[in-house]
Structure 1
Amino acid sequence: MLTIEQATYDAIVAHAKRDHPDEACGIVAGPEGSDRPERFVEMVNAAGSPTFYEFDSTDLLHLYQEMDRADEEPVVIYHSHTATEAYPSRTDIGLAMEPNAHYVLVSTREHGNNDGPVEFRSYRIVEGEVTEEPVSVVDAFPR
């Protein structure tokens, strides 16, 4: 199960809506081994595409260096789908290289960047196998 704070959930949805009609992407880092997505990192879709996303390799390298120094790991890797459901594509599955991460997909196909609900779903993707998991949104993590 993915447990995520309301503020982080809202930030992911806002990013997806803002970048529509292009796909949005980013990472939520957390302390290694904690499974707590705490640090929201909005990334730029280097592909600038409505049909796929690509992290800028330099930005991604810097983020991984930051996470290493802070004893963090990518807890959530998210991106949006602008014209299809929030389910990983074959490309998404092929690019999933973090077996401990929650892969979040947000579909903005129904309302685009206008007000209205989005489809927000989370998956584990390990060795090409996709498993959907429940999402629990909490006010805040206990400190």
Structure 2
Amino acid sequence: MADQGRRAQFRRADHVLLCRDGEHPSNGRGHARGWVTNASANLDANGQAFDGAKTYRLRVPANVPVKDFWSVVLYDTQTRSMLQTDQRFPSLSSRTKPKTNPDGSVDVYFSPKRPANADNWVQTVPGKSWFTIFRLYGPLQPWFDKTWKLPDIQRVG
């Protein structure tokens, strides 16, 4: 999420599902009962729609507050289904053990061709716009109290 001084490009959507035992999902046990939360982005940090011919980077901060895992998936703005690319799935997840930066953050690149030195890459399609959904499975308290924030996606090429 962007700082309050800037317009946020990510939009949060916390899906509240009642846990059978009455526990709040922020305790990290909610995913087994269907708790997932997400943030979607239709625009880059400059307020521009994502262009499949350009290169973008999402820097996922260290210590994503999840019990289970996080994922980022690209969707086609016209069909609202996953973007069809040469990759099996247009996504990246903590389950796939992405390469981390020295500070523990993860750089995820979105572009039609893999940028040099981009270990974590999701393919886009020139001529197609897209949007992304970042999901947290088993979200923990820092997500709910907003002490952990997801930054806007930056155009880098």
Normalised TM-score (structure 2): 0.27
Q: Which has the larger radius of gyration?
A: 2
Higher relative contact order (CA 8 A, sep 6+): 2
Normalised TM-score (structure 1): 0.29
